[in-house]
């Protein structure tokens, strides 16, 4: 019994069409995206004392699992205490000096400067502080999800927070 469509042992629906791959994936519109720094979207959840702007989201770039944007904190300013629900956040300091306070009463503190990364786990109450009197703090922010969850908290901070230095758990 012979199968005409297969008589020479080849399937012709692959390989012959140079456009085949392009037809399946429209990489032009669904490929790499460059989002210019001057076209970020400030319409995202805000916390008093800081300006957040969206660079990459599902709506803007088709991202499904991560969100990215920028955070600016004016000189000598600090945010209200807040957390971000079940989202993980990564903050990369581009310019200036960041002081992070965190904990139930913001009792812990650490500082970060240009080139440093800050990781904020889910539900951690925290506050971002610009530790400089005259320089704007500029950061890049990456989150593990799309919901712009910001739960602003009414926390009575302890007066003198305890400084916590990070030690690489892999290379102690």
Give the pLDDT confidence of 144-159 residue by residue, as tens digits. 998 767 788 887 776 6
Query: What pLDDT is recorded for position 76?
Result: 86
Q: Where are the beta strands (DSSP E) in 11-65?
A: 50-56
Would strands 67-73 and 98-102 be described as parallel, antiparallel, or unpaired? unpaired
The domain segmentation of the chain, as residue ranges, is: 39-163
- The mean of the pLDDT values for the chain is 83
Query: What pLDDT is recorded for position 106?
Result: 92
pLDDT tens for 27-84 read 988 888 888 888 888 887 777 778 889 999 999 899 999 999 999 999 888 888 999 9
In this prediction the pTM is: 0.75
Q: Where are the beta strands (DSSP E) in 9-123?
A: 50-56, 67-73, 82-83, 89-95, 98-102, 108-112, 117-120
Helices (H) and strands (E) in the chain, counts: 3, 11
Please give the share of the chain, as a percent, with pLDDT higher than 70.
81
**What CATH fold (topology level) applies to the domain 39-163?**
Jelly Rolls (2.60.120)
Query: What pLDDT is recorded for position 122?
Result: 95
Q: How confident is the model at residue 8 (pLDDT cuts 50, 70, 90)?
A: low
């Amino acid at each position: 019994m012979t199968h005409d469509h297969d008589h020479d042992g080849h399937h012709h629906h692959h390989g012959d069409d140079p456009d085949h791959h392009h037809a399946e994936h429209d990489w032009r519109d669904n490929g790499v995206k460059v989002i210019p720094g001057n076209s970020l979207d400030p319409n995202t959840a805000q916390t008093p004392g800081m300006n957040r702007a969206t660079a990459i989201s599902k709506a803007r770039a088709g991202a499904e699992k991560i969100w990215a944007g920028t955070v600016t904190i004016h000189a000598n300013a600090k945010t209200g205490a807040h957390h971000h629900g079940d989202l993980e956040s990564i903050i990369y300091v581009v310019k200036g000096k960041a002081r992070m306070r965190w904990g139930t009463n913001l009792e812990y503190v650490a500082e970060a400067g240009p080139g440093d990364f800050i990781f904020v786990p889910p539900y951690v109450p925290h506050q971002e502080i610009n530790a400089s009197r005259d320089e704007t703090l500029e950061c890049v922010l990456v989150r593990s999800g799309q919901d712009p969850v910001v739960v602003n908290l009414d926390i009575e901070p302890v007066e003198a927070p305890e400084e916590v230095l990070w030690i690489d758990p892999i290379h102690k």
